[in-house]
């Protein structure tokens, strides 16, 4: 997941990619590199396919679920084909499948 990084900010966001469903969700944004690494370590026990994305700039939205900048950054940096769908990370996981 390397790409040319032009004028990146110091902010990072963390996303989780579900390859089976081709979906991703953003966990946190506006993190420093240290915070991002910490958050990844914190979640690594139960998580998979976590990645840290460089943000182009600081995002204005407070909640990642409504943050369009997160999606733009993930889609730009991740360069996954076909493009994964964004999935809200909200806890309302009532899917009985």
Q: For the chain, what is the total number of helices (H) and then of strands (E)?
A: 2, 4
Category of 49 on φ-ψ map: left (φ > 0), alpha (ψ -120 to 50) or beta: left
The DSSP element (H or E) to which 54 belongs, if any, is strand 50-54
Is 15 among the residues that bind Zn ion (CB under 5 A)?
Answer: no
Is 74 among the residues that bind Zn ion (CB under 5 A)?
Answer: no
Give the binding range for Zn ion (CB under 5 A) out of 4-12, 40-48, 65-73, 82-90.
65-73
What residues from 22 to 61 belong to the interface with Zn ion (CB under 5 A)? 29, 59
Is 69 among the residues that bind Zn ion (CB under 5 A)?
Answer: yes
The count of residues interacting with Zn ion (CB under 5 A) is 5
Q: Provide the sign of the torsion angle of the four alpha carbons 6, 9, 10, 14, taken in this order.
A: negative
Q: How far is the CB of 61 from Zn ion (least distance, A)?
A: 6
Applying CB under 5 A, which residues contact Zn ion?
29, 59, 67, 69-70
């Amino acid at each position: 997941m390397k790409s040319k990084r032009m004028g990146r900010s110091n902010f990072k966001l963390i996303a989780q990619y579900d390859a089976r469903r081709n979906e991703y969700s953003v966990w946190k944004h506006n993190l420093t590199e240290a915070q991002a690494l910490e958050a990844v370590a914190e979640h690594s026990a139960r998580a998979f396919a976590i990645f840290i994305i460089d943000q182009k700039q600081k995002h204005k939205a407070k909640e990642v679920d409504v943050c369009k900048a997160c999606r733009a950054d993930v889609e730009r940096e991740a360069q996954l084909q076909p493009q994964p769908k964004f999935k809200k990370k909200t806890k309302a996981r009532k899917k009985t499948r």
